[in-house]
Structure 1
Amino acid sequence: MTAPTPSDPAAVTLELERLRRSVEVGFAKTDGALALLVQRSDQTDEALKDHEQRLSQLERSRWPLPSVAALVAIAGLLVSLYTAAQ
C-alpha cells in the first residue's frame, strides 16, 4: 500500500484523525493533572481546617492558666498571712 498524496481527501481525513487523537490524548493528560491538583487542594483544605480546629482548642484550654496562677498566688498569700497572724 502506498502513502496517499497530500491532495487526496483520504490523506486529509487521516491527518485530521491523527490530530484529533493527539488533542484527545493531550486533554486526557491535562484532565488527569487537574484532577490531581484538585485532590491535593482538597487535602490541603482538610489539613488547614484540622490545624485551625487544633489551634482553637489550644487557645481555649490556655486562657484559664493565668487565672489559676493568680488564684494560687492569692491562696498562698492568705495562707502565709494566716500563719503569720497566729
Structure 2
Amino acid sequence: MTVPEASVAVELERLRGTVATGFAEVKGSLAVLVERSTRTERDVAQLREDTQNDIGDLRAEVEALKKNRWPLAAVGALTGVAGAATGVISLLMR
C-alpha cells in the first residue's frame, strides 16, 4: 500500500465509525420515541376508560334524578283545578 491508499483507508474507517455512531444515536432516539408513543397510547386508553366510567356514573345519577323528580304536569293540573274550584265556589257563595 502506498501512502495515499493508507490515508484513504484510515479516512474510510473513521467515516465508518462516524456513520455507526450516527446510526446508534438515531436508534436511541427512535427507541425513546417508541416508548413515548407506547406510553401515550396507554394514557389515552386509560383516559378513555375513565371517561366512559364517568359517563356511566353520570347517566346513573341522571336516571336517579329523573325517578325522584316531581310530576310537574300533574301538580300543575291539580293546582289549576283547585283554583278553578275555588273560583266557582267564591262565585256561588255570593
Q: TM-score range by the shorter chain?
A: 0.7 to 0.9
Q: Which has the higher contact order (CA 8 A, sep 6+)?
A: 1
**What amino acid is the match of 1:61?**
D
- 1:35 matched to 2:24? The reply is yes
Match of 2:83 in 1: none
Q: Considering only CA atoms, is the larger Rg found in Structure 1 or Structure 2?
A: 2
How many residues get paired?
73
- Deviation readout 1:17-70 (Å, 9 max, x if unpaired): 111101111111111111110110010000001000101111111112332222
Give the stretch that moved more between structures: 51-60 or 65-74. Answer: 65-74
Match of 2:51 in 1: 62
Matched position secondary structure for 1:28: helix
- 1:45 matched to 2:44? The reply is no
Matched position secondary structure for 1:24: helix
List 4+ stretches of structure 1 deviating above 6 A: none
TM-score, length of structure 1 as denominator length: 0.72
Matched position secondary structure for 2:45: helix
Greater share of residues in helix: 2
How high is the sequence identity, in percent, across the aligned residues? 12
TM-score, length of structure 2 as denominator length: 0.67
Please tell me the root mean square deviation across aligned C-alpha atoms, in Å.
Answer: 2.1
Q: Which runs of 5+ in 1 are unaligned?
A: 1-11
